[in-house]
Chains A and B, each alone.
Chain A
Amino acid sequence: MKRIFLMLRLFASDFKKQKKKITLTVMAIAWGTVSIIMLLSFGEGLRRQIAKGESGMGSGIVVVWGGQTTKPFKGLPPGRRIVMKPEDIDLLRARIPDMEDVGGEYQRWSVDIRYGKKMVGRHCTGVTPSYENIRNHIPQEGGRFINKHDLDEKRRVAFLGSGLAKELFGDQDPIGKQITINRVPFTIIGVMIEKLQMGMYSGPDADRVIIPMTTFGLIFGDTRLDVLIYKPKNPDDSEKVKKEVYRILGGKYKFNPDDERALSMWDTIEQSKTMGDVLFGIQLFLGIIGALTMLVAGVGVANIMYVTVRRRTKEIGLKMALGAKAKYILWEFILEALLIGALGGSFGFLFSGVIIKILKGIPVKGEALQFLGKPVLSTEIALATVGVLAMIAFWAGYFPSKKAAKINPAESLRYE
């Protein structure tokens, strides 16, 4: 305790003598801290925004289309088209225990959709209730998604994408209103919440109209599944589940389970892992740039410490004469460097906090900026910054301290 008080006093006396230099160095450290924090926080904001955008289509899912065989199988030639049926949804759900849920789509492009005098041509999708969960179609307050009864009774009910709802209804509440799809009247039961969607096929979810699969079959006469979507219980089991899907569908449609091209798959799990690696790389790169800025500030600290050691040579000699060991001298100077680091770091954190707060208050316009996201100062970032700061301050203090500890007391006491 006593040592710390003496040290603070020592620092205060140093400060008076090197006011300008120490102030500038503290500012440099503060700036280094700000750059590390801001770069990492923007990286984190970007990462979270992308994670959010990725999950817009549903997280941990695999989208499957029918493909074409490339291998002969049980006397059948290659080149056959594989087409899935709606029953496959229940088949896969029943046969694969590691499956969380399975869904499917009937699709029709540019379907005639009308409300009052407004008429648009949009993508119409026929789905099962499981679609709500796996494809992330959350209804806005006051509405609901398509359920089992809609499916069983082939009801004429529709769920609107948020963009399409705005287009047709403006500020009105669409729920309970009548629209026509392909000139057939439908009742709106829900509208999807607005969501950030990065991955998509057949256009953004916001521009679609969704109806029960059974009703779709009735109106358009479809019997073949355009898209099948499944979600494994655990994303780590993805490969195992994929093999099962090939095995079961291969058994049913008679293709070699090793024939990858028989089905066409979009594995968002694998993609999101790759994206995670890329984003980690970006974070690391930003962190290194920030750390380099800090390193320059660290050189400033080391410089100050060298001057301090030279100025205090006599004092160091005296302390050694009174019995201070080299270790004591070493730590005294390292602690002083850490103190400068802590001072600059505190200012840096304070300043970064203010910047992030201001940025959060500014409304974001434009799609590019929306994907950039807002800077996020997480605990991990704070810890990483403190770690870099402490390490640089330590080394900035270590080398001058080493010099101080090597001072010969007999010689240093001699000079006036």
Chain B
Amino acid sequence: MPIIKMNGLSKIYKTGKVSVEALRKIDIDIDENEFVAIVGPSGSGKSTLMNIIGCLDTPSTGDYYLDDEEVGRFGSNKLAEVRNRKIGFVFQNFNLLSYATTYENIELPLIFSGMPAKRRKTRTMELLDRVGLAERAAHKPTELSGGEMQRIAIARALANNPAILLADEPTGNLDSVSGGSIIEIFRELHADGATIVMITHDRHIADNIPRVIKLKDGGIVDSLN
């Protein structure tokens, strides 16, 4: 059974009398430990697909199974739980809380999962170590470089051992050097067994990812394996 399984999935946005079909009849299977890139021009439905995979939105029709659960039919509270335990988000603009320390930023998903304080502390330090920023625990995000901020965001995404890592243009706001090091981290994680779905514009990055799903006008054009 694949980790992600989508059958005939569509998403229709209705604004007043106009309805827009953002995704039409999508079928995708992604297995455990796959590294998949989703590419396509703007307006192709990438973000919508990303939101549905990440359980931030639900499909209008069709089925979506994540790790054997039919999450496409879940209510908002159960979706929050699924996001907390099964999905690790990495955003283009990092989305770190500016008033909190890097330590507290990483700890946040652990707080939401209800982990006791003692285990939270060990786990957070472990994660800081994993991205090589243990000595930056007490720093605010504004005191870090872009590459460091994205590494903190990755550590946060890994907090609850998610089933998939979902990265939305993770190198979009970075220079090529730090962007390269972020991609390197994703490769390492993949090598360690993680399942990764990454949206990217960057051809150079996409070319080096084993599987690329191309979207156009809300449909899959080409799924290379």
Residues of A within 8 A of B (CB): 1-3, 6, 9-10, 12-13, 314-315, 318-328, 409-410, 413-414, 416
Contact A9–B47 (Cβ < 8 Å): no
Q: How far is the CA of A323 from the CA of B112 in the complex (A)?
A: 6
Residues of B within 8 A of A (CB): 47, 51, 54, 56-57, 76-77, 80-81, 83-85, 89, 91, 93, 95, 97-100, 104, 107-109, 111-113, 117, 120, 156, 160
Hey, which chain A residues are within 8 Å of B54, CB to CB? 321
Residue from A10, A323, A325 within 8 A of B85 (CB atoms) = A323
**Shortest CB distance A317–B (Å):** 8
A-B contact pairs, 11 of them (CB 8 A): A3-B111, A320-B80, A321-B54, A322-B108, A322-B156, A323-B81, A323-B109, A325-B80, A410-B56, A413-B56, A414-B47
Contact B80–A9 (Cβ < 8 Å): no
Contact A6–B100 (Cβ < 8 Å): yes
Contact B104–A6 (Cβ < 8 Å): yes
Hey, which chain B residues are within 8 Å of A325, CB to CB? 76-77, 80-81, 112
Q: How far is the CA of A146 from the CA of B185 in the complex (A)?
A: 102
Hey, which chain B residues are within 8 Å of A314, CB to CB? 95
Contact B93–A416 (Cβ < 8 Å): yes
- Nearest CB in chain A to that of B159: its residue: A322
Hey, which chain A residues are within 8 Å of B113, CB to CB? 323
Q: How far is the CA of A315 from the CA of B107 in the complex (A)?
A: 15
Interface majority SS (helix, strand, loop, mixed), chain B = helix
Given A12-B99, A328-B112: 14 more A-B contacts, CB < 8 Å: A2-B111, A13-B98, A13-B99, A318-B97, A319-B108, A321-B54, A321-B56, A323-B84, A323-B85, A323-B112, A323-B113, A324-B80, A325-B81, A416-B93
Hey, which chain B residues are within 8 Å of A320, CB to CB? 56, 80, 83
Hey, which chain A residues are within 8 Å of B95, CB to CB? 314, 318, 413
Q: How far is the CA of A323 from the CA of B99 in the complex (A)?
A: 19
Contact B93–A321 (Cβ < 8 Å): no
Q: How far is the CA of A13 from the CA of B142 in the complex (A)?
A: 14
Contact B107–A2 (Cβ < 8 Å): yes
- Nearest CB in chain A to that of B168: its residue: A413
Contact A409–B81 (Cβ < 8 Å): no
Hey, which chain A residues are within 8 Å of B93, CB to CB? 416
Hey, which chain A residues are within 8 Å of B77, CB to CB? 325-327
**Shortest CB distance A6–B (Å):** 6
Q: How far is the CA of A315 from the CA of B108 in the complex (A)?
A: 12
Hey, which chain B residues are within 8 Å of A410, CB to CB? 51, 56-57
Contact B84–A322 (Cβ < 8 Å): yes
Contact A323–B100 (Cβ < 8 Å): no
Contact A324–B112 (Cβ < 8 Å): yes
Hey, which chain A residues are within 8 Å of B84, CB to CB? 322-323
Q: How far is the CA of A318 from the CA of B98 in the complex (A)?
A: 12
Contact A323–B80 (Cβ < 8 Å): yes
Given the contacts A2-B107, A6-B104, A410-B57, A322 and B99 also touching, CB distance less than 8 Å = no
Hey, which chain A residues are within 8 Å of B156, CB to CB? 322
Residue from B51, B56, B97, B120 within 8 A of A315 (CB atoms) = B97
Q: How far is the CA of A413 from the CA of B56 in the complex (A)?
A: 10
Contact B100–A321 (Cβ < 8 Å): no
Q: How far is the CA of A314 from the CA of B97 in the complex (A)?
A: 10
For the complex of A and B, list the 4 residue pairs with the smallest distance between their C-beta atoms, beginning with the closest.
Answer: A323-B84, A410-B56, A13-B99, A323-B112
**Shortest CB distance B127–A (Å):** 14
Q: How far is the CA of A162 from the CA of B22 in the complex (A)?
A: 95
Hey, which chain B residues are within 8 Å of A321, CB to CB? 54, 56, 83, 89
- Nearest CB in chain B to that of A405: its residue: B76
Hey, which chain A residues are within 8 Å of B99, CB to CB? 9-10, 12-13
Q: How far is the CA of A272 from the CA of B100 in the complex (A)?
A: 61
Hey, which chain B residues are within 8 Å of A319, CB to CB? 108, 112
Hey, which chain A residues are within 8 Å of B108, CB to CB? 319, 322
Q: How far is the CA of A9 from the CA of B77 in the complex (A)?
A: 26
**Shortest CB distance A323–B (Å):** 2
Hey, which chain B residues are within 8 Å of A323, CB to CB? 80-81, 83-85, 109, 112-113, 160
**Shortest CB distance B114–A (Å):** 10
Hey, which chain B residues are within 8 Å of A409, CB to CB? 56
- Nearest CB in chain B to that of A1: its residue: B117
Contact A322–B112 (Cβ < 8 Å): yes
- Nearest CB in chain B to that of A323: its residue: B84
**Shortest CB distance A337–B (Å):** 18
